[in-house]
Amino acid sequence: MDLTRFFADVDAQPWADLHHAYGSAADIPGHLRALAGESEEAASEAISELYGSILHQGSVYGATAHAVPYLARLAAAGHRTEDLLVLLGGIAEGGADEGDSDEAACRTAVAGQLPLILARIDAEDPGLRRAAAWAAAMTGAAGQVLPALRMRGKTETDPRVRAELLGAMAHLDPPGTAAEATGAIGAHEPGEVRIVALLACVDGGLPWGAAHHAAMLSLLPANDLVQDRLDLERNEPLQYVVEELLRRDTDADRAAAYTLLDAALRSAVPEARAEAVWAAETACLLSRSAPERLAGAVEALAADPADVSSAYSLLAKLGGRAAAAVPVLARLAGGEGDPADRALEALVAVAPDRAAPLLARDLERRPRALAAACGSLGGGTSGTPFPYDAVLLDAIRARLRGGGPGGNETIRLALLLGAWGSRASAALPELRSALPGAPRAVPKALVAICPPEHRETTAEFLTAAARTGPADGRLPAAAAVRELTGDTGPLLAAVADRLTPGGPAVQEAARLAAELGPEAVGLVPALRSALSGSVGERTSPQLDADAEIAAALWRITGDPEEAVPVLAGVLAEAEPTWMRWTLGRAARAAALIGEAARPLVPALEGLLDGRVQVPPVVLALHAIAPEHLDGPRAAALLLEAAERDDDAATALEALVALGPPALTPDHRRRLTDLAERDLRVRASGLEPGIAPADERLREQAREAARGLT
């Protein structure tokens, strides 16, 4: 390749007008020159920079597709060919097959370089053959790529290249590759090929039979067999197989998955058991029946303290069903340092009664266990409150008296005391002294533990905090006074003080004003002045605050003349892709207003094809103008939202509001499935909270199904 002409072409391109992850793409010519230069260090740095800019964490940009032909030409000329083929495959990997998105343009661009890529399928270097096979498959151009892969497969002898070829064919044609994969799972094949063949069998939709089960177990531990593969999605084979079988959501596939997991957890090979533990954790996040079905294998794990220490997270997910591990956990939790804290963290979930005295004994040095006991910072994510323990209460009081806690620890201690309620009343003095360290968490906890005879003095203390305490704790302190005594004076004053236009607490202050209703009529001028004024340039927090202010104005005055125009502005300005929750908040405010919010109906109807905002929008339309709702269509949209966990709780609430006439027999079947299926509906978020949140959602679905029959 004539590099002079090549770079003349490169320099003629409008790179400065194109953009990548870090802005202008004017730096791309320099990276291309480094790739073609003699310095290996500079070329390696250029590759790294390109991954960071034109393929940033899997995302592509306008400059990415423009760079593809130049990357391909450098690869064809022998400049960092393997690295560039892998980069091209990554650029194509996340692309769409059609449309005008950057992703589609990138895939099309890489597909346009297939002649250059496929020419390396027969390269002498096995690494080049592997990279070419993977990159070609990522284009999705099965018609061009599959014949070349199959032809190469007939003569390929390198096990790793054969594995990459088989994986590439399975990616392009899962059903069509299943037969070939089935023939490759036997012991006559190298392990690298057998494991990819098993993955291809799963991807091809084949039933998981005895031969697959036996082959998978014989290959464990399997992670090393795929460590060099370019397909990072399948780099933990046992976990991948279990997940895919569970996602099929059939009795036969579930049985196959749990039979495989049980056998792997009982393996005589420690590394195989370690892979099985991770796969079992994944099962717990996906499957409602996982804790019960995995409990039997815990006894086998509990026989070896080393296994228990590598399975803390799994044991915590199993909870009480991991009781067989309690003796080992308790012994490990009695040790020193972080290992003991991790063991105690698991014991909190498995046997909280056994965990409490161990936590009390060394409270200061058990931050993980304390976080688990209080349900982490958010509170309540663990599903059930940590049991009251008098010894632990004394330890908490001593810790608070010592003045040592700060930040998160104080918040967690306040959450734990608040969960115990009046049983923790002895800690009232210590909790009051902790207010400066956790001004938002302590007031609520004080209300929870305060006995009747101390309400007056506690209210006086909180009133002072609402006036002169830390700024971010004044609203919580004032709200606590109202809860203790019914006195709204401190809250009215605190809300007025925080209704500063553009201030950080406007949304919270407006919400509290709304709760006060007509009693907060004196706050109306402050609420009006707190509305954002930069129409067309408002941020999401500003729009959120305006929606709360609109709701407050309605709740206080009962006059829609001010609230409805404010909500109309929010609905018109909030961008549906990035401000879905803002739109949902505005829709809920509109639902409060009811029929008087009819001017908002066209804007709300236009949101019904969205995602997260659909449930509150249906609630709003049902409250404002039910005649505008097509009941069965609305029910279908709500069920779709619930099934993909887009504000599923609100979706179920809206289904109940629509009532039985809106549901077809198929809708009822789907609602029952949400409640009774094995796959979790809630499968994202912080891991400790996934199962409890899903159980709450499951019960809500059951109640909805009963109410809609």
- Per-residue b or e along 211-228, where b marks 16 or more CB atoms closer than 10 Å to that residue's CB: ebbebbbebbbbbebbee
Closest by alpha carbon to 109, among 101, 463, 546?
101
Query: How far is the C-alpha of 410 from the C-alpha of 389, rounded, in Å?
Result: 18
Which tokens sit at 95?
Answer: 């692309």
CB atoms within 10 A of CB 669: 12
Alpha-helical regions (H) of 173-269: 174-182, 191-203, 210-219, 237-248, 251-265
Closest by alpha carbon to 220, among 169, 258, 265?
265
C-beta separation of 295 from 243 below 8 A: no
Q: What is the mean pLDDT of residues 38-45?
A: 94
Which tokens sit at 684?
Answer: 């994202």
Rounded to 5 degrees, φ, ψ at 246 are: -65, -35
Q: What is the mean pLDDT of residues 607-630?
A: 92
Catalogue the E-assigned strands of 277-321: none
Return the H-helix or E-strand segment holding 19.
strand 19-20
Under the banding of pLDDT at 50, 70 and 90, the label for residue 383 is low
How far is the CA of 196 from the CAs of 169, 186, 431, in angstroms?
Answer: 11, 12, 58
Q: Which residue has the higher pLDDT, 51 or 404?
A: 51
End-to-end alpha carbon distance in the chain = 73
C-beta separation of 154 from 218 below 8 A: no
Tens-place pLDDT, residues 291-306: 999 999 988 888 888 8
C-beta separation of 379 from 412 below 8 A: no
Assign 89 to helix, strand or coil.
Answer: helix
Tens-place pLDDT, residues 632-649: 999 999 999 999 999 999
Cα three-residue angle 230-236-242, rounded to 5 degrees? 130
Q: What is the pLDDT of residue 577?
A: 82
Q: What is the pLDDT of residue 377?
A: 44
C-beta separation of 667 from 708 below 8 A: no
Query: How far is the C-alpha of 248 from the C-alpha of 245, rounded, in Å?
Result: 5
C-beta separation of 157 from 189 below 8 A: no
| pLDDT exceeds cutoff 80 at 8 | yes
173 DSSP 8-state letter? -
Q: What is the mean pLDDT of residues 412-427?
A: 95
* Total number of residues shown for the chain: 709
| Residues contacting 541, CB < 8 A, separation 6+ | 507
Under the banding of pLDDT at 50, 70 and 90, the label for residue 380 is very low
- Characterize the bridge pairing of strands 19-20 and 23-24: antiparallel
Q: What is the pLDDT of residue 526?
A: 96
Q: What is the pLDDT of residue 403?
A: 67
Q: What is the pLDDT of residue 300?
A: 85
CB atoms within 10 A of CB 706: 9
| pLDDT exceeds cutoff 80 at 155 | yes
Under the banding of pLDDT at 50, 70 and 90, the label for residue 501 is confident
Rounded to 5 degrees, φ, ψ at 25 are: -95, 20
Tens-place pLDDT, residues 550-608: 999 999 999 999 999 999 999 999 988 889 899 999 999 999 999 999 999 999 999 99
Which tokens sit at 398?
Answer: 């001593």
Q: What is the pLDDT of residue 376?
A: 54
Q: What is the pLDDT of residue 378?
A: 42
Out of 39-48, 97-106, 256-265, 356-365, pick the least confident: 97-106
Rounded to 5 degrees, φ, ψ at 538 are: -80, 145
Tens-place pLDDT, residues 199-248: 999 999 999 999 999 999 999 999 999 998 998 889 999 999 999 999 99
Q: What is the pLDDT of residue 77?
A: 94
Query: How far is the C-alpha of 513 from the C-alpha of 511, rounded, in Å?
Result: 5
